[in-house]
Amino acid sequence: MIRVNLLSGNPGAAQPRNFFPSEQKPAAIGLAMLLATGLGVGGWWYYLNVQHANTEQSIITAEGRIEELKDALKLLESVRLQKAELEERLSLIERLRAAKLAPVKLLDVVNEKVPDGLWLMEIKQVQAWVQLEGRSLSHTAVTDFAEALQKSGFFKKPVEIITTLMETVDETTVIRFVLKAEPVMGVGLPAVPVPAAAAGRPGA
């Protein structure tokens, strides 16, 4: 009787090579997974480390930029203060110039508007007002003088006649008057005696 062994390979066939015994394969797979996980974690750690370094560098750069902007802001603020100070000085110069010229302008306007038969004795400032005191030969001349000052544009309306009194000067009856007028701009005028010859005496 002939017996055939079906379980055995062909005579002389190479046997499959097993690098790991079957009982060690789970351990090998676990080790490979552990290595892969370690590489992944290491790569992620490296990436985070690079990102952290870049972030730190960005923060340092931003802080430097902030300091530069702070210096620029200080410089800008200094320039603004200097500009405001210069503008205030220019404004003060203009006010001083106006205050210096205003009395001259006032005297010119008053002298120009004095009618015949009226003369001034004193011009002085009382607070914001200018008070003009003088004498006239008639009430009409006083009224005309007040209206002329009011229309000059130098004084605010109205120019008020405060008092009118009759008195005698060199045997001539005259009217002594006081006017009150407020300049459009501040004058800063001290008491200014006005020579009678500036406006003319009666009969001049």
* Band (55; pLDDT cuts 50, 70, 90): confident
**Residue 176 in domain:** yes
Question: What is the pLDDT at residue 118?
Answer: 94
Q: Please list the residues that pair with 125 across neighbouring strands.
A: 130
pLDDT at 156 over 90: no
* Band (135; pLDDT cuts 50, 70, 90): very high
Question: What is the pLDDT at residue 194?
Answer: 52
**Residue 202 in domain:** yes
Domain extent, residue 164, equals 25-204
**CA 175 – CA 166 distance, rounded (Å):** 5
**Residue 8 in domain:** no
**CA 150 – CA 138 distance, rounded (Å):** 19
Q: Please list the residues that pair with 26 across neighbouring strands.
A: none
**The pairing of beta strand 192-193 with beta strand 172-181:** unpaired
For the full predicted model, state whether its pTM sits above 0.85: no
Q: If DSSP codes are grouped into helix, strand and coil, which group holds residue 29?
A: helix
Question: What is the pLDDT at residue 163?
Answer: 92
**Residue 135 in domain:** yes
pLDDT at 146 over 90: yes
What is the DSSP secondary structure assignment for residue 8, as one 8-state letter? Answer: S
Q: What is the mean pLDDT of the segment spanning 139-163?
A: 91
For the domain that residue 163 is a member of, what is the CATH number? 3.30.1360.100
The angle at the Cα of 60, spanning 58 to 66, to the nearest 5 degrees, equals 100
The amino acid sitting at 117 is G
**Residue 84 in domain:** yes
Query: Which residues have CB under 8 Å from 133's CB, separation 6+?
Result: 120, 121, 122, 123, 176, 177, 178, 179
Question: What is the pLDDT at residue 20?
Answer: 57
The amino acid sitting at 96 is L
65-69, 95-99, 178-182, 191-195 — which is least confidently predicted? 191-195
**Residue 196 in domain:** yes
Q: What is the mean pLDDT of the segment spanning 57-80?
A: 85
Look at the chain and report how many structural domains it folds into: 1
**Residue 52 in domain:** yes
What are the angstrom distances between the C-alpha of 83 and each of 91, 93, 111? 12, 15, 42
- The predicted-structure confidence for 160-173, as pLDDT tens digits, reads as follows 999 999 998 888 89
Q: What is the mean pLDDT of the segment spanning 118-147?
A: 91
**Residue 164 in domain:** yes
Question: What is the pLDDT at residue 197?
Answer: 41
